[in-house]
Amino acid sequence: MGAREQRPGAGGRRLHAFNGGVHPEEHKSVSTSRPIQPLPLLPRYVVPMRQHIGNPAAPLVQVGDKVLKGQMIGLPEGAISVAVHAPTSGTVLAVGHRPVTHPSGLPDICVEIEADGEDRAVAMAPVDWRAMEPGALRAHLRDMGLAGLGGAVFPSHVKLDPGKERKIHTLILNGAECEPWITCDDLTMRHHAAEILAGAAVMRHALGCETVLVGIEDNKPEAQAAMRAAAEHAGYPVEVVAVPTRYPGGGGKQLAYTLTGLATPSGGLTTDVGVQVFNVGTAYALHRAVALGEPMLSRIVTVTGHVARPGNYEVRIGTPIADLLAQAGGELPEATGLIIGGPMMGFDLPETAAPVVKAVNCVIVKDRLLFPPPPAPLPCIRCGACARACPADLQPFEMYWYAKAKDLGKAQAYSLFDCIECGCCGYVCPSHIPLVGYYRFAKSEIWAREQEKAAADAARARHEFRDFRQEREKREKAEKFAAKAKETLAATTATAEPGEDPEAARKKAILAAAMEKARQAKEGVQPKNIDKLTAAQQKEIEEIEARRARAVEEKGTP
Amino acid sequence: MLSALLILGGIGLVLGGILGWAAIRFRVEDDPLVEKIDAILPQTQCGQCGFPGCKPYAEAIAKGEADINKCPPGGDDGIRRMAELLGVEPKPLGEGLAHKPKSVAVIDENTCIGCTLCIQACPVDAIVGAAKQMHTIIEAQCTGCELCLPPCPVDCISMVVIREEIDSWKWRYPVYMLKQAA
Amino acid sequence: MIGSPHVVSERNSVRLVMAKVMAALVPATLAHAWFFGPGIWVSLLLCLLFGLFFEAFALGMRGYPLKPFLTDGSVLLTGWLLALSLPTLAPWWLYAVGMLFAVLVAKHLYGGLGQNLFNPAMVGYAVLIISFPTHMTQWPAPGDLAIHVPGLAEAFDLVFAGQGSISPDAYTSATPLDSLRTQLLNGKTAAEAMTQPPFGYFGGKGGEMVAVMVLLGGVLMLMNGVITWRIPAAFLGGIALTALVMQLIDPTRQAGPLFHLFSGAAMLGAFFIATDPVSASTTPRGQLIYGGLAGMLTVLIRVFGGYPDGVAFSVLLLNMAVPLIDTYTQPRVFGASAPRRPRV
């Protein structure tokens, strides 16, 4: 099926509809009635070093260090990594493993900070991005800890460097926010439209592109109005486009297709077709990083669902989610758990002590009414509902079939890695099969196997080299010995006394030579590092000797 | 009668000829069996199979001298893939062998006396050190074969199970039982 | 922990799909009862009960829970489709044997719901027509042709006690497809044959109205999104096109597209049997190929084959070809330059 065209958007732009998609109940009004509320300073923050895609930051502080708000506490490591900063001033309580917001529930390395209540900040200064070298600007953004706030948390400075070969012609600001329940981008656009566009101006400059589009789903008229008003004064052309409300219309590739009709190649990035997509929240944070010199210290988080005061909160990175919920009035009775992210792609939070990180856009409190336990699954009847709902035009039931049978090669042959895990297939499945779970399992299993295979290949190579080396050493030794034997033979034959059996004389000579060699070895070779020892070292050696003696005793063999 | 025989025989000859030609013309160049088996084996070189390394075991399997269920690090998955490759039934792990969680060897550096015995034992050269110098194991290259444990005179090497970390964590196979559905 | 998505569409479940399909069968069943007498209620009841019995038996043997699988509606649908495909007023064991093969062999030996390679109802039908051709060709005559239309009580009697008092000639007649075949063998032309009593306006008397009701049910399913248009359209197109070509080649002995579309199980096949998702092709292009070939085969079997109707055999043959068709008709993935061709 080719590109279906849709009715033109409000700006007259021709929109392109991607195949599939679903429209679950929105539940957005639950959290849009209140403006964005700041959270008071909390006594304790836990800041994970791994908040972005790529290498985790390396901790720069030690237990007991005093830190200031905005001070870099995690150093970016490698090309794809960003810095991590202290959310407030205080003392480092610990650097170590703490529960983090991750579906596994496993702990990860964090810096725990006890706030001193003064909230003193490091000196922050704006930068003149127009005059800056592109590389310097990107380094600045990396040091400001800027990562995409849409959920993927890819380092922004990397996305702003598409490379020399690629020309970016269009910058898309993603305000679609297609997941149900989440409203943080909506509220950001309503309240910070001008700042978003100021941030986009920097992105436009860094990417060297002309066109700037803002894609907003048509269920957010207030956000559209605010963005249109701000676009008038942006100082560069901005087109605010209303896109149809259809999940996953806010997926980067889907939004790029809807707005431009350019389909991102399978396995590629939107930059392959000259489009770069940023979340509106990222543009807002980028503006603050450039115009105020403020690192990414906080983000806007939607707290919604079965909670006393649902709404959007400005939350410092590192705020424990339990504390955030308490600030939102706490869970209502009979809550059944938390979802981090939206209901279509989010995950169950195993541990509420885990902190808010840059990726957390929404916390949904579940209850039995809003999120009833899924019906018991039945076998797949190949009805194809999943294939019709799939925005990537996959055959999900085939992938499921092979993933379930752990036939990973076949699953991959059915384009498993084109799956964006949006959950449309699981949403429409009449058999209520947890399809995405199977795809995630198959993907991570394939990655793990590839790693295992690489490790096995390396081990094989090392083993083969070791065999080769041993073989060579043996051969060399044999050759040396043969040469020596020949020499000795020549010598002994020469010195053989007349009348004596030459063979016996030779043996005697060899024996003498060997004894001489052994004597030399005994005298000549001495360990070189055991003279001039300190008392402590001497003691340690004695201990080791004693232990060795014990070991010999116990084993009975020297 | 005779004409029928001749015709059928002729057809047989012609088809046989075509098949024979196709077998040569379209032959698929393939890895030798030993390489294929060796590719399935985990390359720990641990010798638990009774052979001095993965390659000799692969050769023995290819010759039909060894069973496919002698490789504990390869796990049930390895046995299954080998059974598939060789067209035989998978079977449980051989007697006296047991699956263990994946581990790496770690040298207690305070105890090590620098005897180099473990270095000589390591099949993949993953231990560095010199005589009378403290030794250490390169974790990334250790296959967990445990061959360094017996030669150590002071028992300073221990096997440490590799813990699951966030970046090595895998999504679990979704388990639900149709038979329990109600 | 199952993971995302945390919500599922409440408008979609296997039970609901099956229920919708069965609801779409109601008009055709009513029409059947109206034109051919209440015998259909007996055979329908028997097929449903035998279906449930064999399903429960198989589930019990396999250690599966009864409740979710007996109530998923799949076995009821199989029974209903088989009842509509079989002659009414046949001995009870005919329905039992049909459902035994449909449920135990075609469904559970292949692994139960969702795993069957062949359409269970059609397997039941095929087994019966091969094994019991005489019983399978004794179709009740439509009301105004029959000397006597058995009432409900009589129907029970006939089914369970056999043909005691009433001679089968009193209530049966040849089906239009049978009749056409016989007349052609006797040297008549198709046009002459179709003036005979079993023929109606464009199909068989009575049967054509049932077919219209099946069409109505099919359109309802299409509007409701239970099925997609590809398989029925291709199936009916395949029938019409093949019949048209045949008629153009030999106008005297061929009945033409309209007759083929509205006689036998053509409509039922197009909307309810070929569309069975488990055994049908699943790719967009594959569904067109699958439906078109099944329709074409149906006419070819009717015209050249030894059996009067060809729907069951053509669908079963195409069921076999589904994996091949699907493999070579994979759709293009979003952003991919060419359709994918999985390794076979």
Tell me which residue in A371, A382, A434 faces C282 most closely, judged by beta carbons. Answer: A382
Tell me which residue in B176, B179, B181 faces C63 most closely, judged by beta carbons. Answer: B179
- Which of the four pLDDT bands, split at 50, 70 and 90, describes residue A374? confident
Q: Which chain C residues have a beta carbon less than 8 Å from that of B180?
A: 65
| Yes or no, beta carbons of A384 and C8 under 8 Å apart | no
Q: CB-based contact (8 Å) between B168 and chain C?
A: no
Nearest Cα of chain B lies from the Cα of C2 at a distance, in angstroms, of 6
Gap between the Cα atoms of C245 and C266, Å rounded: 18
- Which of the four pLDDT bands, split at 50, 70 and 90, describes residue A10? very low
The pLDDT of A110-139, averaged and rounded, is 92
DSSP string, A106-165: -EEEEEEEEE-SS--B-------TTTS-HHHHHHHHHHTT-B-TTTT--BHHHHT---SS
CB atoms under 10 Å from CB of B75, counted, come to 14
- Which of the four pLDDT bands, split at 50, 70 and 90, describes residue A7? very low
**Which pLDDT score is estimated for C180?**
81
pLDDT tens across A450-483, in order?
998 999 999 999 998 998 998 999 999 999 989 8
- Which of the four pLDDT bands, split at 50, 70 and 90, describes residue A545? confident
User: Does residue C179 sit in the same domain as residue C138?
Assistant: no
**Which pLDDT score is estimated for C11?**
74
Q: Tell me A467's DSSP state.
A: H
SS3 of residue A21 by DSSP? coil
Interface of chain C toward chain B, CB-CB under 8 angstroms: 1-3, 63-65, 67-68
Between the alpha carbon of residue A279 and those of residues A48, A172, A184, A545, B88, the distances in Å are: 22, 8, 11, 65, 54
Instruction: State the virtual CA torsion across A538, A539, A541, A544 in degrees, nearest 10.
Output: 180
Is C54 domain-assigned?
A: yes
**Which pLDDT score is estimated for B177?**
57
Gap between the Cα atoms of A424 and A344, Å rounded: 8
Is C80 domain-assigned?
A: yes
| Domain extent at residue C231 | 175-328
Comparing A271-280, C88-97, C172-181, the range with the smallest average pLDDT is C172-181
CB atoms under 10 Å from CB of A395, counted, come to 24
The pLDDT of C325-333, averaged and rounded, is 90
- Which of the four pLDDT bands, split at 50, 70 and 90, describes residue A554? low
Compute and round to an integer the Cα radius of gyration of chain C.
21
| Yes or no, beta carbons of C65 and B182 under 8 Å apart | yes
Sequence-distant (6+) residues with CB within 8 A of C171 are: C37, C89, C140, C141, C146, C147, C148, C149, C150
**Which pLDDT score is estimated for C264?**
86
Is C343 domain-assigned?
A: no
Does the structure show a pLDDT above 50 at A316?
yes
Q: Which residue has the tokens 């978003």?
A: A196
User: Does residue C225 sit in the same domain as residue C154?
Assistant: no
Comparing A241-245, A409-413, A508-512, the range with the smallest average pLDDT is A508-512
Sequence-distant (6+) residues with CB within 8 A of C163 are: none
Nearest CA in chain A to C276: A383
Is C196 domain-assigned?
A: yes
Whether A87 and A298 have beta carbons less than 8 Å apart is answered as yes
Mean pLDDT, chain A, whole residue set: 89
Is C234 domain-assigned?
A: yes
The pLDDT of C125-150, averaged and rounded, is 83
Position with higher pLDDT, B118 vs C151: B118
% chain A with pLDDT above 90: 69
Mutation for testing the A interface, residue in C4, C69, C281 having most A CBs under 10 Å: C4
User: Does residue C263 sit in the same domain as residue C274?
Assistant: yes
Tell me which residue in C1, C3, C65 faces B181 most closely, judged by beta carbons. Answer: C65
Does an H or E element contain A438, and which? helix A435-495
Does the structure show a pLDDT above 70 at A556?
no
Gap between the Cα atoms of C125 and C82, Å rounded: 7
**Which pLDDT score is estimated for A486?**
85
**Which pLDDT score is estimated for C164?**
61
Gap between the Cα atoms of A507 and A472, Å rounded: 29
Does the structure show a pLDDT above 50 at A4?
no
The pLDDT of A31-58, averaged and rounded, is 93
Nearest Cα of chain C lies from the Cα of B170 at a distance, in angstroms, of 13
Q: What is the three-state SS of C42-73? A: HHHHHHHHHHHHHHHHHHHHHCCCHHHHHCCC
Q: Is domain A1-31+126-294 given the CATH code 1.10.3720.10 in the classification?
A: no
Nearest Cα of chain B lies from the Cα of A376 at a distance, in angstroms, of 6
What is the pLDDT tens value at each position of chain B, 182 positions in all? 889 999 999 999 999 999 999 988 887 776 688 888 888 898 988 888 888 888 899 989 988 888 888 888 888 888 888 898 888 888 888 877 888 888 899 998 888 888 889 998 999 989 998 888 888 999 888 998 889 999 999 989 999 998 888 888 888 888 765 554 43
Sheet holding A311-316, edge to edge: A37-38, A311-316, A298-305, A362-367, A335-340, A347-348
Domain with CATH 3.40.50.11540 in chain A: 1-31+126-294
Q: Which chain C residues have a beta carbon less than 8 Å from that of A22?
A: 9
Q: What is the three-state SS of B64-97? A: CCCCCCCCCCCHHHHHHHHHHHHCCCCCCCCCCC
User: Does residue C190 sit in the same domain as residue C295?
Assistant: yes
| Yes or no, beta carbons of C4 and A421 under 8 Å apart | yes
User: Does residue C163 sit in the same domain as residue C232?
Assistant: no
**Which pLDDT score is estimated for C2?**
62
Sequence-distant (6+) residues with CB within 8 A of A157 are: A82, A138, A139, A141, A142, A146
| Yes or no, beta carbons of C68 and B182 under 8 Å apart | yes
Which range scores top for mean pLDDT: A489-503, C177-191, C309-323? C309-323
Does the structure show a pLDDT above 80 at A409?
yes
The pLDDT of C65-78, averaged and rounded, is 91
Is C335 domain-assigned?
A: no
Nearest Cα of chain C lies from the Cα of B174 at a distance, in angstroms, of 6
The token pair at A467 is 């065999």
- Which of the four pLDDT bands, split at 50, 70 and 90, describes residue A198? very high
All domains of chain B in start order, with CATH: 33-86 (1.10.15.40), 103-164 (3.30.70.20)
Mean pLDDT, chain C, whole residue set: 88
- Which of the four pLDDT bands, split at 50, 70 and 90, describes residue A9? very low
Gap between the Cα atoms of C341 and B41, Å rounded: 30
**Which pLDDT score is estimated for A532?**
66
Q: Angle CA(A52)–CA(A89)–CA(A83) in degrees, nearest 5?
A: 20
Nearest Cα of chain A lies from the Cα of C169 at a distance, in angstroms, of 43
Compute and round to an integer the Cα radius of gyration of chain A.
33
Gap between the Cα atoms of A279 and A251, Å rounded: 10
**Which pLDDT score is estimated for C157?**
80
Tell me which residue in B141, B153, B165 faces A551 most closely, judged by beta carbons. Answer: B153
- Which of the four pLDDT bands, split at 50, 70 and 90, describes residue C343? low
Give alpha helix (H) positions in A174-251. Answer: 184-207, 221-232
DSSP string, C119-131: -HHHHHHHHHHHH
CB atoms under 10 Å from CB of A491, counted, come to 14
Does the structure show a pLDDT above 60 at A527?
no
Position with higher pLDDT, A162 vs A356: A356
| Yes or no, beta carbons of A426 and C5 under 8 Å apart | yes
Does the structure show a pLDDT above 90 at C151?
no
Does the structure show a pLDDT above 90 at A152?
no
Gap between the Cα atoms of A558 and C80, Å rounded: 85
Does the structure show a pLDDT above 50 at C49?
yes
Is C201 domain-assigned?
A: yes
Strand bridging mode B157-161 / B103-107: antiparallel
Does the structure show a pLDDT above 60 at A496?
no
Interface of C with A in 10-49 (CB under 8 A): 12-14, 16-17
**Which pLDDT score is estimated for C173?**
75
Is C93 domain-assigned?
A: yes
Does the structure show a pLDDT above 90 at C284?
yes
The token pair at A10 is 């409000």
The pLDDT of C314-333, averaged and rounded, is 93
Tell me which residue in A108, A441, A460 faces B174 most closely, judged by beta carbons. Answer: A441
ipTM: 0.88
Mutation for testing the B interface, residue in A463, A537, A541 having most B CBs under 10 Å: A463
The token pair at A5 is 């065209």
Nearest Cα of chain C lies from the Cα of B181 at a distance, in angstroms, of 7
Nearest CA in chain A to B126: A462
**Which pLDDT score is estimated for A47?**
96
| Yes or no, beta carbons of B176 and C2 under 8 Å apart | yes
Does the structure show a pLDDT above 80 at A234?
yes
Please report, for chain B, how many H helices and E strands are present, in that order. 5, 4
Mutation for testing the B interface, residue in C8, C15, C64 having most B CBs under 10 Å: C64
Q: Angle CA(B1)–CA(B3)–CA(B7) in degrees, nearest 5?
A: 120
**Which pLDDT score is estimated for A557?**
46
pLDDT tens across C193-243, in order?
777 777 777 777 888 889 999 999 999 999 998 999 999 999 999 999 999
Gap between the Cα atoms of C101 and A465, Å rounded: 63
CB atoms under 10 Å from CB of A476, counted, come to 10
User: Does residue C106 sit in the same domain as residue C205?
Assistant: no
Report CA torsion sign: A151, A157, A163, A168.
positive
Q: Is the peptide bond before A248 cis (omega within 30 degrees of 0)?
A: yes
Between the alpha carbon of residue A505 and those of residues A214, A483, A509, A518, the distances in Å are: 100, 19, 6, 20
Give alpha helix (H) positions in chain C. Answer: 14-36, 39-62, 66-70, 74-85, 92-99, 120-131, 133-136, 152-161, 168-171, 176-185, 190-193, 207-224, 230-249, 257-262, 266-268, 284-304, 311-328
Q: Is the peptide bond before B90 cis (omega within 30 degrees of 0)?
A: no
